[in-house]
């Protein structure tokens, strides 16, 4: 099996269970739509590729440690599947990269 055929899957449930969730609700769709009235330019930003682009602070990579038969490794960039506490921060950092 070549490296191109391998897919890394890390169970981050233990880490996610320790993340303090957002305490404020997402905006209502009707409120978002009302802000778009009388506007003529629209866009859709896909944040699907936001993961693996945001750098993790070196002091925090220890929380993203995982083991494989080939050794122990740490993510240095935010992996997919992590609960993000502040969605606004995640969007802002995704757009910067």
Domain boundaries along the sequence of the chain: 48-97
Weakest-pLDDT range from 19-33, 50-64, 82-96: 82-96
**Structure token digits, residue 6:** 């391998």
**What's the pLDDT tens digit per position in 15-49?**
888 877 767 677 788 888 888 888 887 776 666 66
3 state SS of 90: helix
Of 60 and 88, the one with more pLDDT = 60
- The total of other beta-carbon atoms located within 10 Å of residue 75's CB is 19
pTM above 0.75, yes or no: no
Longest distance between any two alpha carbons in the chain, whole Å? 58
What pLDDT is attached to residue 74? Answer: 92
What pLDDT is attached to residue 2? Answer: 57
Angle (nearest 5°) at CA 17 between 61 and 14: 60
Task: Using a pLDDT cut of 70, give the percent of the chain over it.
Answer: 69
């Amino acid at each position: 099996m070549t490296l191109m055929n391998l897919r890394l899957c890390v169970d981050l449930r233990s880490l996610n269970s320790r993340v303090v969730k957002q305490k404020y609700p997402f905006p209502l769709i009707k409120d978002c739509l009302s802000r778009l009235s009388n506007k003529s330019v629209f866009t859709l930003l896909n944040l699907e590729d936001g993961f693996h682009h945001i750098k993790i602070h070196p002091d925090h990579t220890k929380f993203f440690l995982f083991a494989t038969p080939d050794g122990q490794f740490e993510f240095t960039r935010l992996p997919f599947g992590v609960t993000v506490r502040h969605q606004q921060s995640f969007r802002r950092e995704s757009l910067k990269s």
